[in-house]
Amino acid sequence: MNIYWDYNATTPVDERVLAAMLPFFTTHFGNPSSNTHIKGWDAAEAIKNARSLLADCIGASPSEVIFTSGATEAINLGLKGAAEIFAPQRNHIITVQTEHKAVLDTCLYLESRGIEVTYLSVDSEGLIDIEALKNAFRPETFLVCVMLANNEIGVIQPIKEIADITHHYGAWMMSDCVQAFGKVPVKVDTLGVDIMPLSAHKIYGPKGVGALYLRRRNPRIRLIPQIHGGGHENGLRSGSLNVPGIMGMAKAAEICVESFYTEAIKLKQLRDLLESFILEGTQGKVNGSTTNRLPNVSNLCFPGIKSEYLLMRTPHLCLSSGSACTSALNTPSHVLTAIGLNDSEAYASFRISLGRFTTENEIIEGGSRIRKAILSENPAFNDSKA
Ligand SMILES: *Cc1c(COP(=O)(O)O)cnc(C)c1O
């Protein structure tokens, strides 16, 4: 039996999402930019509805939503587009060591172009220090970029508080809400965010589509586009729209907003059950916050056991030894080292991320497989449940 516990890497497309997409590959294949015929108008109408639906889901207005090829592109547009608007007068960004690589690598690139970046550290739970944030501001600071929920350990930052401070210092607030959306409430005004990337494939939508929320008023966000061409998406992101993908993303978001509350309660129960089942009688521990955490994530460390070997013993159990985006690199997780783990502890850690289709049967079955694997790697561990 294959068990998929890597929902933070990607999710299967929900059947309802697929159904919403299918007509737009064939019957309604038009290009929404074709404004001289019925096929184009059909597609434009569909995109208009999808844009309003997604905007409603995050408490925004439709003109504040820009569709992209995914969150990585949305993040690149947010960071580079803002940097170019403010250059050269204001050239300082504040972000965090535990951000997704899409943020960190873009910041690294911007540093090579003369932008200065402060990378805030985090405590053992994964939270930033608010005083350190306040001290990091300079007159040139134009942007603060802090993710709402971390993809590896699930820690949730106090974004509203961070946004209020950011606005007090006259900067814009950007927050990667890719992992948070669908698991905790994500409304742009409640969070106080001005720039917010989202991804469809983390919320049971298709891969290769995402969106960037850009606030229109107080403050009005303006960006320099990074992809030039036909002037689509208000000139901010040229290229013919991925109509089926966008239909899927909007449907996926709608389902999440309808069901996230009950889903989150279920996931938390399953996650807590699994965590206590796996950890009992072992020297294992949870990495990061156990209180301010996404309901579906469990990042565990078993000192002395390389998770690489552990995961090889459970090939039909889909887990992750880091984030999918960085697991190609043979370096310890930058998130785990940032919360204070040494390299060997980081290599002894792995991530479980549950999702919509996780069942209680899977928890018992998968949990036993993990305990067996731990026991094989270290016979000293209690085997009563293996
Ligand atoms: C997956 C992920 C991204 C990248 O999203 P893509 O749509 O795959 O480009 C960015 N940030 C976080 C937190 C993620 O989990």
Across 204-210, average pLDDT: 98
Domains 3-9+260-377 and 15-254 share a fold: no
Which tops the pLDDT comparison, 383 or 169? 169
Q: How close are the terminal C-alpha atoms of the chain, in Å?
A: 17
Across 130-143, average pLDDT: 98
What pLDDT, on the 0 to 100 scale, is given for residue 377? 82
Tell me if 176 CB under 6 Å of ligand 1: yes
- Candidate from 59-63, 194-198, 208-212, 278-282 with smallest mean pLDDT: 278-282
Is the model's pLDDT at 326 over the cut of 60? Answer: no
What pLDDT, on the 0 to 100 scale, is given for residue 180? 98
Is the model's pLDDT at 325 over the cut of 70? Answer: no
What pLDDT, on the 0 to 100 scale, is given for residue 322? 64
Q: Cis link prior to 219 (omega < 30° from 0)?
A: yes
Across 314-339, average pLDDT: 80
Q: From the candidates 57, 107, 145, 325, which is the catalytic residue?
A: 325
* Rounded-to-integer distance, Cα 227 and Cα 239, Å: 8
What pLDDT, on the 0 to 100 scale, is given for residue 145? 99
* Ligand 1 center–CA 199 separation, angstroms: 6
Tell me if 210 CB under 6 Å of ligand 1: yes
Is the model's pLDDT at 118 over the cut of 60? Answer: yes
Nearest to 76 by CA among 176, 170, 204: 176
Across 176-194, average pLDDT: 98
* Rounded-to-integer distance, Cα 342 and Cα 364, Å: 31
Determine contact, residues 359/367, Cβ cutoff 8 Å: no
- The full set of domain ranges for the chain reads 3-9+260-377, 15-254
CATH class (in words) of the domain with range 15-254: alpha beta
Tell me if 175 CB under 6 Å of ligand 1: no
325 is known as an active-site residue: yes
Where does the pLDDT of residue 380 fall: very low under 50, low under 70, confident under 90, or very high at 90 and above?
A: low
Determine contact, residues 314/320, Cβ cutoff 8 Å: no
Residue 131 makes CB contacts below 8 A (sequence gap 6+) with none
In a mutational test of the pocket of ligand 1, which residue from 106, 155, 179 has the highest number of ligand atoms less than 8 Å from its CB?
179
Tell me if 203 CB under 6 Å of ligand 1: no
Tell me if 102 CB under 6 Å of ligand 1: yes
Is the model's pLDDT at 84 over the cut of 70? Answer: yes
* Ligand 1 center–CA 73 separation, angstroms: 9
* Rounded-to-integer distance, Cα 69 and Cα 233, Å: 12
Share of the chain above pLDDT 90, in %: 94
Is the model's pLDDT at 323 over the cut of 50? Answer: no
In a mutational test of the pocket of ligand 1, which residue from 66, 101, 202, 299 has the highest number of ligand atoms less than 8 Å from its CB?
202
What pLDDT, on the 0 to 100 scale, is given for residue 9? 97
Tell me if 353 CB under 6 Å of ligand 1: no
Share of the chain above pLDDT 70, in %: 96
Distances (CA, A) of 240 to 40, 44, 217, 244, 348: 12, 11, 27, 12, 45
Across 144-166, average pLDDT: 98
In a mutational test of the pocket of ligand 1, which residue from 105, 148, 178 has the highest number of ligand atoms less than 8 Å from its CB?
178
Is the model's pLDDT at 386 over the cut of 70? Answer: no
* Rounded-to-integer distance, Cα 266 and Cα 134, Å: 37
The CATH architecture of the domain made up of 3-9+260-377 is Alpha-Beta Complex (3.90)
Nearest to 254 by CA among 316, 182, 307: 182
Is the model's pLDDT at 136 over the cut of 90? Answer: yes
Where does the pLDDT of residue 321 fall: very low under 50, low under 70, confident under 90, or very high at 90 and above?
A: confident
Q: What is the mean pLDDT of the chain?
A: 95
Across 196-216, average pLDDT: 98
What pLDDT, on the 0 to 100 scale, is given for residue 154? 98
What pLDDT, on the 0 to 100 scale, is given for residue 90? 98
